[in-house]
Structure 1
Amino acid sequence: TFSGHFVMVTDEPAEYIDLSVLDLLGDDGGSGSEAEQDPGKRHSQQHHPQKHYFVSKETKKFLQGRLATTFIPTVYTLVFIVSVPLNLVATVMFVHRIRPKKPAVIYMLNLACADLLFGLLLPFKIAYHYHGNNWIFGSFMCRVVTAAFYWNMYCSVLLVMCIGVDCFLAVVHPMKSLTWRSPRTASAVCAAMWLLSLGGVVPILTSGQTLRLSDLGITTCHDVQDVETLHSYYLYFFPIYSSVFFFIPLIFTVVCYVRVIQALAAANVENRSKKSRAIVMTVVVLLVFVVCFTPTNIILMVHYVHLAHASSDGSYRAYLLSMCVGSLSCCLDPVLYYYGSSQCQKQVAALLRCTRLARGESGSETRSTRTSGSTISSRSCKMESVHTNMGAQYNRLET
């Protein structure tokens, strides 16, 4: 974060200070000041010193500039508008439409939930940046929102890793992994990922995240920390946190997807287009994961390496911008994992055909005929659904 330096400031009246100076100079023939003659009055005029935090000129320029107050919240607004409906619909579809609940479905359902919760937190960030990086929701909410922000982001990383491992087991070791890849195991693994990522943000949840900058007239949330706290606490916390919750999952994810791509490329499949589509989808999923999350975590590590030797406000500006790129994964995940699947496309096509059939029959027949037509339409929809499910099962058996 940006480093805040504090100085001790007293709010003493100017006339009291002037009298003290005159007294030290021996003015009025050593008779002393009015405050000295009345110790009780002098005691009442004294004020307790307070901490006032100050930041560098570059930090002030960034906190008040358009990049932080316009560009970043605008990106978050677009992500919120797109990601929340997409992930909400995907969550409903995973719960009510996808049958049976295989391990891959359970992992993708949890990923959609994590992305949905991440998107629902964005309005707090949007309001914070649009108000000139001034937090107006209180210190407790700042801790909750900051912790939940990291919680959902890194829970998504862990769930993407789980999807990669599950895909690796299904493609590379399909027979050996039959006993491991069960819905119960997948549910337990997802619960463990949620709890693990929650445990990682407990230090953020229990430490102060707001800091008042009197010269700017704003209260920052997590973006500015006391320089002593940065060197004694966060200098060690965030590098360890990023290593455990990103770089280790990154290694597992890359290795699993590379092995999947190799297995798909070496497989002898009659349907070449389906094979090519599977390879392309796997490569795209891996690229989205790497592009969205790797820059953020590399910059975070570089930031704290620089902070160990000197001030590193410039790298934190780059980190805030990379966070915007990382938030795009909330929009891309549902498109890749659900809306890009063949099963979803068949369901949408079946729904559209049923709707068109119902409209055509209702507009061309009489009321009695409409009744029979609606029955035929509903039967057609059911038959279409059956064929879709059978096709989906066949596709799964093929893979």
Structure 2
Amino acid sequence: MEQHNSSDSTACHSIDDFRNQVYSTSYSLITVCGLVGNGFALVVLTRTCHQSSPFHIYMFNLALADLLCVMTLPLRVIYYVNKGQWNLGDFLCRISSYSLYVNLYCSIYFMVAMSITRFLAIVYPVQNLRLVTENRARLVCAGIWVFICLLSSPFLMTGQTIDVETNKTKCFEPPNEKGLQKLVVLNYLSVVAGFALPFLVILLCYAGIVRTLLSRTHTARCQRDAGNRAIRMIVIVLLTFLISFTPYHVQRTIHLNSLSRTDVPCSEKEAMQKSVVVTLSLAAANSCFDPMLYFFSGEGFRNRLSSMSKSAMGGSSLQQTSRLRPVATLDGRENLQLQAS
């Protein structure tokens, strides 16, 4: 859905230079930040997997989705550095398009799962002990992967093409008129199922969390800590939606609808195409925001990091185990204490 090529109208100036510079720069920065942040998070989560909790499982899958996506971004960088010439074959073209959208919507759905988990822990702590288990979290993650991979499968149907005017091999380019209607339908499906409904669920969860926290006048320290983690998660997730997901989905919908119009002036068309370049770059940047979610709102993530650091500095395995044991039971202890409220 990268609608940014302006070569369809000889009367309008091409934005190819702008597109190539913005994409090559932004994707390079996202690759570095995403690899470092999510790679580091995966190391921490993997080395402390014996402390597993449902929230830990969702964080792990979110980091994995981000890492798989940023590993394909260098292919896009090469394409735009080569000024829109694709030399890497049809298969990699399809995989590069596919992986970006799989990450985008997996990120949204894993955030939904994390938000529901936090909502149950704070609003319904007793039911949470029974409903939220590690096995169910794994089943939810498997379901999300299958659902998003199927939802994004149309992007595997379109590979590289040949531009008849320049004789260049293209990838990530808009479809012809025959494929435009299918893309519009696919856009509405992804906006509703991949963005609007998940965002509504997240907002409802956060409204319930905030209402519950405000209703508590006297809380124990553990309850305050759980509330603080919830507030941090709310802020980070809403900022991610505000910066990455919402502008992209709104602008993509407007632009796709404008492609069927013939009365669009060049200035409006060029501005529309440039805005799609910027919003898609912001959407891809969600891979850089997610590590903040792990560090600032992840249950025990900083404790895990601290334990790893002390172990690396030569702490004994016995001491490490004694430090880690309280974190492993964090969920249950937190829920039992929340129950008292």
Structure 2 residue 191 is matched with structure 1 residue 242: yes
Structure 1 gap ranges (5+):
6-53, 359-373
Structure 2 residue 254 is matched with structure 1 residue 305: no
Superposition map of 1:171-250 within 5 A = 171-206=122-157, 208-230=158-180, 232-250=181-199
Deviations 1:245-292 (A, max 9, x none): 111111111211222122223223143963663354033223233122
Aligned residue for 1:343? 300
Higher strand share: 1
Asked if 2 retains the 8 angstrom alpha-carbon contact of 1:146 and 1:222, the reply is yes
| Runs of 4 or more consecutive aligned structure 1 residues displaced over 6 Å after TM superposition | 390-393
Aligned residue for 1:286? 237
C-alpha root-mean-square deviation of aligned residues, in Å?
2.9
Asked if 2 retains the 8 angstrom alpha-carbon contact of 1:3 and 1:225, the reply is no
How far, CA to CA, are the matches of 2:270 and 2:102 in structure 1? 24
Provide closer, same or farther for how the CA distance between residues 355 and 329 of structure 1 changes in structure 2, counting only shifts above 3 A: same
How far, CA to CA, are the matches of 1:113 and 1:398 in structure 2? 32
Query: Residue 386 of structure 1: CA displacement?
Result: 4.4
Provide closer, same or farther for how the CA distance between residues 348 and 105 of structure 1 changes in structure 2, counting only shifts above 3 A: closer
How far, CA to CA, are the matches of 2:125 and 2:228 in structure 1? 20
Which amino acid in the other structure matches residue 297 of structure 1? H
Worse-matched range after superposition: 89-98 or 268-277: 268-277
TM-score by length of 2: 0.84
How far, CA to CA, are the matches of 2:72 and 2:150 in structure 1? 19
The residue matched to 1:164 in structure 2 has which SS? helix
Structure 2 gap ranges (5+):
none
Superposition map of 1:57-76 within 5 A = 57=10, 61-63=14-16, 65=17, 67-76=18-27
Query: Residue 171 of structure 1: CA displacement?
Result: 1.4
Structure 2 residue 121 is matched with structure 1 residue 164: no
Aligned residue for 1:77? 28
Asked if 2 retains the 8 angstrom alpha-carbon contact of 1:68 and 1:133, the reply is no
Asked if 1 retains the 8 angstrom alpha-carbon contact of 2:13 and 2:270, the reply is no
Deviations 1:171-217 (A, max 9, x none): 111222333212221111111111111111222212x3433334445
Structure 2 residue 205 is matched with structure 1 residue 256: yes
Structure with larger Rg:
1
How far, CA to CA, are the matches of 1:275 and 1:101 in structure 2? 18
How far, CA to CA, are the matches of 1:59 and 1:334 in structure 2? 41
Provide closer, same or farther for how the CA distance between residues 236 and 114 of structure 1 changes in structure 2, counting only shifts above 3 A: same
Question: Comparing both chains, which one has the higher relative contact order based on Cα–Cα distances under 8 Å and sequence gaps of 6 or more?
Answer: 2
How far, CA to CA, are the matches of 2:207 and 2:323 in structure 1? 36
What is the aligned-residue identity percentage? 20
